[in-house]
Structure 1
Amino acid sequence: MATKTPLDRRGFLRIAGRYGLTSTTLAALGFAGPLTLEGVGRASAQTAAARNGKAQFNFKFGAAGFNEENLKIQESGQIWFARELEKRSDGAIKVDFIGSNQICNQLDCIKKTQQGIVDLFTASTQNSAGAAPYYNVLDFAYMFPSRAAQHHFFYHPKSEALLREPLRRLHNVQFLFTHCELRGLMMGAKFKDRPTVTKVSELAGTKNRVTGTQLGRIAMQLMELGPVPLAWEETVDGLKSGLIDGAETWMGAAGYGGLSPVLSQAVDLKFFCGTEHTAMNNKAFEKLPAKLQDVVLETAFAAQQYTQRENERALVEKVGAVPNPGPDTLFGKNKVRVALLSDDEIRKAEQACSPEFNPKPWEEWRERLNKMQGGADTYKEIYTIAREIPKDAPVDSVKPRRWWQSA
């Protein structure tokens, strides 16, 4: 009967104690069919045996709060990348995946990577901006009109000069790949009995949890959305208790972060990036032989395509980030209404807070980031790239490009 024993957290940790956390995590994520104690145990033994060869490079991967469970809700590719990197390097690179906030969290993974405590990390670019301010270059309000536009930029050869090279030079970070969503407001209990939001003005005067980004706060202040700094770990209690009215985040994060049970409405404001990226200590990257550097970049390129495909599926099938979410999705089960704003209403929000229509509040940051980059008008250049494809282009229509080869 052991084959029918469902895998729970205690069973997972028992297997991990025998075969190692990374091997067990990789086995569980790659397991086909229902997760059972015996099946995952057997797969973990096989995975551990395959990983036992002597690697040339052992990398610690600090993945903030991510684990094999919530990465099936937000498919941002971290465990897939770790497993694929070991495979593509023929075992020359071994990755110890350390998620669930065990070695670093959203705010300090960047610092521990810069210090060399971990070699790879995952956190949102917005939370990483506190210790590495050039990340703010992604956070101008309404710079990206869609998720497709985001993917288009991260594949673009100009992303090298506008994003990746300055991060290496200024912050010792090799930007590898990212998931792509746009942030809105996830409203709590106070909006349960209110009509579904159709106008940004209906949110004016509310208090909303804000992430670590400096630029996101500018946009929220201009739209009167009351930014309140609050740790991610305290957000659920804040929404439940009414300490805050809502949380500024993206729908995938609301799903994997456990917010769904305390949400009433997910307002698709789309006002700046929600990018859960994976990056590497650049000095560690540069120590790799050229052949393995190529393997890392090719694996990152494959992981960008993985998130482009799989997160779009998960948004619909797992989160329910669509009008009328399916009954088996997180939003469907918790009766979270997805509030889509009209193009005219998004345009009003853009005119209120974006540098394109209201430049003065952004001048200081634009000047600072332009100097850090080396002189380009970073906002205008990224804004233009984001509009090289049609506004309504579907995400799966974006052509993958090796950004480092055509730079």
Structure 2
Amino acid sequence: MVFWALIGTQIAVAKTFKMAIGDAAGGTQWELGTKFRDLMTESSQGKVNIELFPNGQLGNEQDTVNNAAIGLLDFSILAINNVTPFSPTVGLLTMPYLIQSTEEAVELTQGKTGQELTENTIRDAGVRIIGWAYSGFRVLTNSKKPVRSPEDLKGLVIRVPRNEIMIASYQAWGVNPTPMAWSETFTGLQQGVVDGQDNPYITVHAMQFNEVQKYVTNLRYIFSLEPLVISESIFQQQPQELKNMIVDAGKKASEHSVMFLLEKEHQIRRALEQKGMVFYEPADGERIWKEQVVKSVWPKFYSSIGGREQVDKALHVLGR
């Protein structure tokens, strides 16, 4: 246990925290983590240092939730779907086609809905969400053929996280996806164990999936959100001054993440095109994709996310 000494409003004992990052350096998780680190260093006048460990160096993303919950890890940035097994109500944010834009993602995470989900995650998982990385929509990539309709998925083996909502979405499109840990995904694609996966442009670029994938389908079924969490037990050990710094840095880093996405997403798509990836739009404006999952997937998960009223409340917040 670390004890802090305070002199006036100055932190008198230097402290280094460890932060796990699921993705490789260069993606939105890394951008959020480095911005948070820099803000904490500045506000503490150099007394607080955050060591970043990207690319799953401290374990897979679900392991980092466990380790943070029991106080063995300070911070983690990870995909929201890897928090869902520990705090099912955050699965609301992975309901297919609920979020339709970056603005809607910000509205849900930064408003009352996001605060409620944060409180639930403290209660259920023992971690506190203090920031968000906004990565954009999870586009589908594969190494075999162009995909424009759900029928085109036939014959493809698609990797998904171990997330029941995402698994059910692909099943609604007529295929049985393969759940696979994030740390195994590149190798799985490289060796042909799986043919495809879905992630935002920024993640595809950061993970260099262009080396093992060719075709991109611009799906908009899930907006990729990656929370920055802190161990609740470690958070509560800190003096109020440091708690305030952490919360403030998380908010500012989240705002930075939004701007990073808006500035970089189109540039990164162009870079992927230059590296040989070929892009396709879903047929019929994605209508069939959407109808199939909203009809069959939403009702199946109402109970796990706190009831249909939670979806209705989110849609009301979004003006839909």
The TM-score range, normalised by the shorter chain, is: 0.7 to 0.9
Bigger CA drift: 281-290 or 256-265? Answer: 281-290
Percent identity (aligned): 17
- 2:19 is matched with which residue? 61
Q: TM-score, normalised by structure 1?
A: 0.69
SS state at 2:45 partner: coil
SS state at 1:338 partner: strand
Q: TM-score, normalised by structure 2?
A: 0.86
One-letter amino acid matched to 1:168? I
By how many angstroms is 1:136 displaced?
A: 1.9
Structure with higher Rg: it is 1
Q: Is the 8 A contact 2:30 2:54 kept in 1?
A: no
By how many angstroms is 1:57 displaced?
A: 4.5
Length, aligned pairs only = 309
Counterpart Cα distance in 2 of 1:55 and 1:314: 38
- 2:6 is matched with which residue? none
Deviating above 6 A after TM superposition, structure 1's stretches of 4 or more consecutive aligned residues are none
By how many angstroms is 1:336 displaced?
A: 0.5
The CA RMSD over aligned residues, in Å, is 2.5
Residues 225, 252 of structure 1: CA spacing in aligned structure 2 closer, same or farther, 3 A cutoff?
farther
Counterpart Cα distance in 2 of 1:224 and 1:312: 33
By how many angstroms is 1:250 displaced?
A: 2.2
- 1:33 is matched with which residue? none
Bigger CA drift: 253-262 or 333-342? Answer: 333-342
By how many angstroms is 1:145 displaced?
A: 1.0
Q: Does 1:178 align with 2:132?
A: yes
One-letter amino acid matched to 2:281? L
- 1:378 is matched with which residue? 310
By how many angstroms is 1:93 displaced?
A: 3.1
Q: Does 1:246 align with 2:196?
A: yes
Counterpart Cα distance in 2 of 1:98 and 1:237: 20
Q: How does 1:267-286 map to 2 (within 5 A)?
A: 267-286=217-236
Q: Is the 8 A contact 1:74 1:315 kept in 2?
A: no
Q: How does 1:7-406 map to 2 (within 5 A)?
A: 55=13, 57-67=15-25, 70-71=26-27, 76-161=31-116, 163-180=117-134, 181-188=136-143, 190-191=144-145, 196-317=146-267, 319-320=268-269, 325=270, 329=271, 331-341=272-282, 344-354=284-294, 358=295, 361-370=297-306, 377-387=309-319
CA offsets per residue over residues 94-139 of structure 1, 9 Å max, x none? 3232334322222311111112111111111112333443432221
One-letter amino acid matched to 1:60? K
By how many angstroms is 1:306 displaced?
A: 0.8
By how many angstroms is 1:257 displaced?
A: 1.3
Q: Is the 8 A contact 2:79 2:225 kept in 1?
A: yes
Residues 152, 75 of structure 1: CA spacing in aligned structure 2 closer, same or farther, 3 A cutoff?
farther
Q: Is the 8 A contact 2:87 2:120 kept in 1?
A: no
